[in-house]
Amino acid sequence: MKEMSSEYKKFLKKRKTKNILIITTQIGLLIILIALWEILATYGVIDTFIMSSPSRIVKTISELYSTGNLFYHIGTTLIEAILGFLIATLGGTIIAILLWWNDTIRRIIDPYIVVLNSLPKIALGPIIIIWVGVGMQSIVTMAILIMIIITIISMLNAFRQVEYSKILLLKSMNANKWQILTKLILPSALPEFISLLKINVGLTWVGTIMGEYLVSKAGLGYLIIYGSQIFNLDLVMASTILLCILAALMYFIVAFIEKCFNKKHNNY
Amino acid sequence: MHILELNGVELTYFDTHGETKALEDITFSVDAGEFVSIVGPSGCGKTTILSIITGLIQPTHGKVNINGQGSKVVGYMFQKDNLLEWRTIKNNICLGLELTHNKTKENLDYVDELLKKYNLWDFRDKYPRELSGGMRQRAALIRTLALRPSLLLLDEAFSALDYQTRLNVCDDVYNIIKQEKLTAILVTHDINEAISLSDKVVILSKRPSSVKEILDISLQKYPTPFERRECVEAKDYFQHIWEKLV
């Protein structure tokens, strides 16, 4: 380790102070908002029937927990979201590989993909329910539909962006198509794949909750819809907040994977 | 012995705009250990000739004969080094061995030997982005040499480098080629580069191109390409080639 100059130490310290300031303000803001919400609710400034309140949300969650329903609903939504995420990401990437492999098929499929991409997937909801059936399968299908087209498009794009001279280099060394794919195309597209994971981890929640709004007997989306129908805003708010926490957790896991990946790449 | 013979090579390619005759009649030969440059007006199909020699493109007419041995007879070096950023220098150099399933102990020892001989040993575990342009190009050359080609094709191999690096890399690559006793064909638009490196310069005409002249260069008394660039005779060669090109 090199000796640090005092100016550099100062610089590092300044940066650290700034970071601490930002994090404390972020947390502080959250606490203030929650406290304000609670206080306004307690003194009747806002109507808790419409706005609910932090304490009522906590109470609702603990009730869900004590009746043993909390993890059932969380689990249902989580499984749907993860299934949709994995199937769409892997399936879409595999389809993109096939389209890269065979240019004729790619050209045939191209207009279909463009049209499907611009179609709002929610419009397919009723058809999915009729075709796939009521239950988890149509929710996962909805999530897959939302992600798979964009996955195919962005991965195919990444594959096709690989420099032609690199392909030529491998060909000049007698590489076959499979070797070009595994030794060049896939590793080149890895950064795009990682950023795709980040996009999909957001989209899978959109798909899952949309699916649950359409057809479900369990899950956080179901609780939100059910709560709004019986005008139980405590339940709606509680489910929304649980959803927030879950989505954030899943996002951070993917962000962590990205960070590990970047760390490896910056060591180049 | 001729290591390479091109006999009446003709190439016509088709696209939606019609058919284009790129090569009319390309005939020349290269002897073992020779350094041959191909110069010609831009767009005359110099690179296409290299693609035909490698077998990436089939000629419409004519014959290409290559007499050589080794796992991969023809080695190709591009304008860009095309090193793969996610592989270390050593793994980049072993790429060809990997692709041809020739990663034997013997070949890997040969790679180590090349790395040591050409001063890349200390950089073998580094990634391409940690190397300078000149070193990257040297790594690209060793990647080609690892397959022990009998014939080396250099496609504007120095054009992407800045002028100063270019002169150095030119000397560098020339020495390696001579030390390894390789036969080389260089495609370039730089007449001075062609004169300073070659034993023979093939001058092509405009598209559809044919061989206009094969010019022997005798500057063997100057040991390095750099000195040949500077010498008096080079100016005459330059004048001669220049007149043929316009």
Interface-testing mutation among A173, A177, A264, with chain B (most B C-beta atoms within 10 A): A173
Task: For helices A190-214 and A233-266, give the axis angle rounded to 10 degrees.
Answer: 170
**Tens-place pLDDT, residues A37-75:** 999 999 989 998 888 999 999 999 999 999 999 999 999
**Tens-place pLDDT, residues B136-171:** 988 998 999 898 888 999 998 888 788 888 888 888
Contacts of B74 in chain A (CB under 8 A): 172
Question: Does residue A206 form part of some domain?
Answer: yes
Question: Does residue A53 form part of some domain?
Answer: no
* Residue B11: partners with Cβ closer than 8 Å, 6 or more residues away: B21, B22, B23, B45, B48, B52, B57, B59, B60
Q: Given a cut of 90, is residue A106 above it in pLDDT? A: yes
Question: Does residue A81 form part of some domain?
Answer: yes
**Tens-place pLDDT, residues B1-12:** 788 989 999 999
- Residues B39-66 have a mean pLDDT of 89
- Looking at chain A, the whole-number percentage of residues with pLDDT higher than 70 is 98
Question: Does residue A131 form part of some domain?
Answer: yes
Locate the chain A residue with the closest alpha carbon to B89.
A268
Contact state of A172 with B56 under an 8 Å Cβ cutoff: yes
Contact state of A179 with B99 under an 8 Å Cβ cutoff: yes
pLDDT at A266: 59
Sign of CA dihedral A65, A70, A75, A76: positive
- Residues A73-79 have a mean pLDDT of 95
For residues A25 and A152, state if they share a domain: no
Contacts of B85 in chain A (CB under 8 A): 268
Question: Prior bond to A187 cis, omega within 30?
Answer: no
Q: Given a cut of 70, is residue B177 above it in pLDDT? A: yes
For residues A189 and A256, state if they share a domain: yes
Question: Does residue A55 form part of some domain?
Answer: no
For residues A34 and A122, state if they share a domain: no
Question: Does residue A158 form part of some domain?
Answer: yes
The size of chain A, in residues, is: 268
Contacts of A174 in chain B (CB under 8 A): 72, 99-100
* Residue A117: partners with Cβ closer than 8 Å, 6 or more residues away: A149, A150, A153
Instruction: Looking at the complex, report in whole angstroms how far the Cα of residue A10 sits from the nearest Cα belonging to chain B.
Output: 30
Which domain covers residue A24, as residue numbers?
Answer: 6-46
Average pLDDT, chain B: 89
Average pLDDT, chain A: 92
For residues A145 and A238, state if they share a domain: yes
Instruction: Looking at the complex, report in whole angstroms how far the Cα of residue B237 sits from the nearest Cα belonging to chain A.
Output: 33
For residues A131 and A21, state if they share a domain: no
**Segments in A161-266 forming alpha helices (H):** 164-172, 177-180, 186-188, 190-214, 220-229, 233-266
What ipTM does the predicted assembly reach? 0.86
For residues A141 and A217, state if they share a domain: yes
For residues A174 and A215, state if they share a domain: yes
Which of the four pLDDT bands, split at 50, 70 and 90, describes residue A1?
A: low
Which of the four pLDDT bands, split at 50, 70 and 90, describes residue A252?
A: very high
**Chain centre to alpha carbon of residue B39:** 12
- Token pair 């638009």: residue: B189
Contact state of B72 with A267 under an 8 Å Cβ cutoff: no
For residues A118 and A205, state if they share a domain: yes
Q: Given a cut of 50, is residue A238 above it in pLDDT? A: yes
Q: Would you call A161 an interface residue with chain B, using a CB distance cutoff of 8 Å? A: no
Contact state of A174 with B100 under an 8 Å Cβ cutoff: yes
pLDDT at A145: 95
Q: Would you call A179 an interface residue with chain B, using a CB distance cutoff of 8 Å? A: yes
Question: Does residue A54 form part of some domain?
Answer: no
**Tens-place pLDDT, residues B59-81:** 999 998 888 665 567 889 988 89
Q: Would you call A171 an interface residue with chain B, using a CB distance cutoff of 8 Å? A: yes
For residues A26 and A150, state if they share a domain: no
Instruction: Looking at the complex, report in whole angstroms how far the Cα of residue A201 sits from the nearest Cα belonging to chain B.
Output: 26
- Number of domains into which chain A is organized: 2
A174-211 burial by CB neighbour count: b if 16+ within 10 A, else e?
Answer: bbeeebbbebbbbebbeeebbebbeebbebbbbbbbbb
pLDDT at B73: 77
For residues A26 and A135, state if they share a domain: no
For residues A124 and A197, state if they share a domain: yes
Contact B96, A237 (CB under 8 A): no
Helix or strand run (H / E) with residue B180? none
| DSSP state string for A106-171 | HHHHHHHHHHHHHS-GGGGHHHHHHHH-SSHHHHHHHHHHHHHHHHHHHHHHHHHTS-HHHHHHHH
Which of the four pLDDT bands, split at 50, 70 and 90, describes residue A30?
A: very high
CB atoms within 10 A of CB B14: 8
Task: Kindly report the CATH number assigned to the domain that includes residue A259.
Answer: 1.10.3720.10
Contacts of B95 in chain A (CB under 8 A): 170, 173, 183
| Rounded Cα–Cα distance for residues B203 and B39 (Å) | 5
For residues A32 and A122, state if they share a domain: no
